[in-house]
A and B are shown apart, each in its own frame.
Chain A
Amino acid sequence: MLETFILIPGRTTDQGCGVSEGKFKDRYQNAIRALQVAPGDMTRLGLAEGDRVRLTGEEGQTVEVCITAAKKEELPEGLLFIAYGDISSRMMTGDTHGSGMPTSKGMEVTMELVQKAVA
Chain B
Amino acid sequence: MTSGSTQAHAPTPSIPGELKIIQDATCTFCGCVCDDIELTVKDDHIIEAKRACILGKSWFLNHSVEDRPSCTIDGNPASLEQGYDRAAQILTHGKYPIVYGLSDSPCEAQRVAVSIVDWISGTIDTTTSVCHGPSGMAFQGVGEVTCSLGEVANRGDMIMFWGSNPAESHPRHFTKYSLMPKGMFLPNGRKDRTCVIVDVRRTKSAKAADIFIQIKPKKDFEALWTLRALAKGIELDPELVLRETGVEFSVWSDLMDRMKACKFGVIFFGMGLTMTRGKHVNSEALLALTRDMNAHTRFVAKPNRGHGNVTGADNVVSWRTGYPFGVNHARGYPRFNPGEYTTSDTLANREADCAMMIACDPMANFSQPAREHLATIPYIALDTKETPTTRSAAVAFAVATYGINTGGTVYRMDDVPIPLRPAFASPHPSDYDVLTAIEVRVKKILGIT
Query: Do A and B come from the same complex?
Result: yes
Most chain-A Cβ atoms within 10 A of its Cβ — which of B130, B201, B338?
B201
A89 with B364: CB separation less than 8 A: yes
In A97-116, the 8 Å CB interface with B consists of 97-106
- The number of inter-chain residue pairs (CB within 8 angstroms) is 150
Determine how close the nearest CB of chain B comes to the CB of A30; give it in whole angstroms.
15
**B393 to nearest A CB, angstroms?**
15
Residue contact B55 to A106, C-beta cutoff 8 Å:
no
Count A-side interface residues using an 8 Å CB cutoff.
41
Count how many chain B residues have C-beta atoms less than 8 Å from C-beta atoms of the other chain: 56
Q: Contact partner of A101 among B29, B62, B133, CB < 8 A?
A: B133
Separation of A53 and B171 alpha carbons in the complex (Å): 32
Taking a contact as CB atoms closer than 8 A, the residue among A6, A93, A97, A105 that contacts B271 in the complex is A105
Q: Does chain B have a CB within 8 A of A48?
A: no
Q: Is the CB of B388 within 8 A of A99?
A: no
* Contact A79 to B200, CB < 8 A, known contacts A23-B385, A103-B275: yes
- B215: shortest Cβ distance to chain A, in Å? 10
Cβ–Cβ < 8 Å partners of A8 in chain B: 200-201, 217
B348 interface hit (Cβ, 8 Å):
yes
Docked Cα-Cα span, A100 to B130, in Å, equals 7
Give the complex CA separation of A11 and B365 in angstroms: 13
Chain A, range 1-24, C-beta contacts under 8 Å to B: 6, 8, 10-13, 16-17, 20-24
Least Cβ distance of B61 to chain A in Å? 8
**Which residues does chain B contribute within 8 Å of A24, judged by CB atoms?**
386
Residues of A within 8 A of B129 (CB): 100-101
- CB within 8 Å for A61 and B368 given contacts A22-B385, A24-B386: yes
Chain B nearest CB from A53 CB (Å) reads: 19
With A13-B168, A17-B58, A106-B276 known to touch, is A94 a contact of B349 (CB < 8 Å)?
A: yes
- Say whether A86 contacts B137, CB under 8 Å: no
List the A residue with the shortest CB-CB distance to B365.
A89
Known A-B contacts A17-B54, A89-B366, A100-B325; A11 and B202 likewise in contact (beta carbons under 8 Å): no
Q: Report A-chain residues with C-beta under 8 Å of the C-beta of B364.
A: 23, 85-86, 89
Q: Are A100 and B58 in contact, with the CB atoms below 8 A?
A: no
Residues of chain A with a CB closer than 8 A to B271's CB: 10, 104-105
Q: How far does the Cβ of B329 sit from chain A's closest Cβ, in whole Å?
A: 17
Please indicate the chain B residues that have their CB under 8 angstroms from the CB of A104 in the complex.
Answer: 130, 271, 275
Q: Is the CB of B55 within 8 A of A16?
A: yes
* Cβ contacts B214-257/A at 8 Å (1 or 0 each): 10011000000000000000000000000000000000000000
Report yes or no: A94 in contact with B370, Cβ–Cβ below 8 A. yes
Is B367's beta carbon under 8 Å from chain A? yes
Is A69 interfacial (CB-CB < 8 Å)?
no
Contact B367 A93 (CB under 8 A): yes
Whether the pair B217, A79 counts as a contact (CB closer than 8 A) is yes
Chain B residue contacts of A21, Cβ below 8 A: 58, 62
User: How many angstroms between the C-alpha atoms of A79 and B388 in the bound complex?
Assistant: 29
Which A residues lie within 8 Å of B275 (CB)? 101, 103-106
24 A/B residue pairs, CB under 8 Å, sorted by A: A8-B217, A10-B168, A10-B203, A10-B272, A11-B165, A11-B168, A16-B58, A16-B168, A20-B61, A22-B62, A22-B386, A23-B387, A61-B368, A73-B202, A75-B202, A94-B367, A94-B368, A95-B348, A96-B339, A97-B339, A100-B325, A100-B326, A101-B338, A102-B130
When A and B form their complex, which 5 residue pairs have the shortest distance between CB atoms, in order from nearest?
A: A100-B342, A94-B348, A98-B339, A94-B369, A100-B338
Q: A16-B29, A61-B368 are in contact. List 9 more A-B contacts (CB 8 A).
A: A10-B168, A17-B58, A74-B203, A75-B201, A100-B134, A100-B325, A100-B339, A101-B129, A101-B344
